[in-house]
Amino acid sequence: MATEPIKLNRAFYQDPHGVYAALRAEGPVRTAMLYRGLQVWLVSRYAEAKALLADPRLSKDGARALELFPEGTAGALASSLSAHMLTSDPPDHTRLRTLVNKAFTARTVARLRPRIEQITDALLDDMADAGSVDLMESYAFPLPIAVICELLGVPGSDRDKFRAWSSPFVAAASEAEMRVAHEELTAYLTALVDRKRTAPGDDLLSELVQVSDEGDRLSQDEVVSMAFLLLVAGHETTVNLISNGVLALLDDPGQMAALRADPSLLPNAVEEFLRFDGPINIATVRFTTEPVLVGDVEIPADQFVMISLLSANRDADRFPAPDRLDITRPGGGHLAFGHGIHYCLGAPLARLEAEIALGRLLDRFPALELGAERAGLEWRISTLIRGLHTLPVRVR
């Protein structure tokens, strides 16, 4: 294994797939230096990625992780907003996840279909009027945020604020930006939770508040953290499934034509978009609680491990011709939603939103085309999110 940590720089984020192919050829894991100067172990091959995502020797305990962060690299992560399931191990994880799990079954989510279709159609109407739009701004962003806000019971008038607050948590932002966003969001969510306590609505947040009041199983901090997790996880990701999917189709007119010719391929196509260029680059951070052998490399205890879902999903040992988009590829097996106990809670909702969003977009605009130079599209600099800054399109 190369001894120098690879630097994940701006060029990497513009084209991670080339870098990952080289890493996979070299071995399953190697050290990497993140932009904040944090050294981690980066896992790139499918088999090892899948095994490590479900390995109980890797912990996601947020409090302990903070102690391991070198001075100056964690900053605003030291927050009350991190008392949630994605930064906890069993038994806390099991308790937190069970409470909210019932809201995210495929059946409950399917009931949201008419409302999602309505929101989608309203956005498409506005796009049709405009003619040329940024698909991120006009479509991919507003849809998931509207859905998750409705589900949680966040007033529509507050939606725009969330984009500004959540973005520093997933993209490279300064400590100061993160701190401001964190303080404002905590204050907002705390007040919202208090309102749900006195005036409950027919929404998920009111349900969670009730659960916490009935048997002290969920503290106030935990409700606020859970709301934060659902809001951020529920929209920063689905946005990029929609836009990365549209870009993949615009890049491959044959696949675009095949999907237009047979819309019943849509669910399978969504699985292929998740595999081909999923919205999450690298899964959220984990650390070793004891030495862990990966291939012939021993990762010592107390080391951060980052698992690249983007890379695992392009591993030729698992997916034949991995760099080719193929919407008829037998679906399943990709790691875009993670694996193991932290497997994405919102996967059924994300799939439904993407199917509706992509299906109706293609239906509505038979002549959809890229509205900018392909080479000029810029990707966000984020270890977590694989997504564009803007995606200009012409719809007529």
Q: Is 382 in the site for ligand HEM (CB under 6 A)?
A: no
Of 59 and 395, CB closest to ligand HEM: 59
Which residues, 260 to 279, sit near ligand HEM by CB under 6 A?
A: 278-279
Count residues binding ligand HEM (CB under 6 A). Answer: 27
Q: Is 204 in the site for ligand HEM (CB under 6 A)?
A: no
| Position among 135, 148, 149, 310 found at the interface with ligand HEM (CB under 6 A) | 148
Q: Is 43 in the site for ligand HEM (CB under 6 A)?
A: no
| Position among 256, 283, 357, 361 found at the interface with ligand HEM (CB under 6 A) | 283
Of 61 and 252, CB closest to ligand HEM: 61
Of 306 and 395, CB closest to ligand HEM: 306
Q: Is 294 in the site for ligand HEM (CB under 6 A)?
A: no
Distance between CA atoms of 178 and 182, rounded to whole angstroms?
Answer: 6
From 112-120, 234-242, 261-269, 298-306, span contacting ligand HEM (CB under 6 A): 234-242
Query: What is the contact mask toward ligand HEM in residues 155 to 194, using x (rule: CB under 6 A)?
Result: ----------------------------------------
Q: Is 233 in the site for ligand HEM (CB under 6 A)?
A: yes
| Position among 153, 346, 359, 387 found at the interface with ligand HEM (CB under 6 A) | 346
Q: Is 342 in the site for ligand HEM (CB under 6 A)?
A: yes
Q: Is 350 in the site for ligand HEM (CB under 6 A)?
A: yes
Which residues, 302 to 321, sit near ligand HEM by CB under 6 A?
A: 309
Q: Is 244 in the site for ligand HEM (CB under 6 A)?
A: no
Contact residues for ligand HEM, defined by CB under 6 A:
53, 85-86, 97, 148, 229-230, 233-234, 237-238, 241, 278-280, 283-284, 309, 336-338, 342, 344-346, 349-350
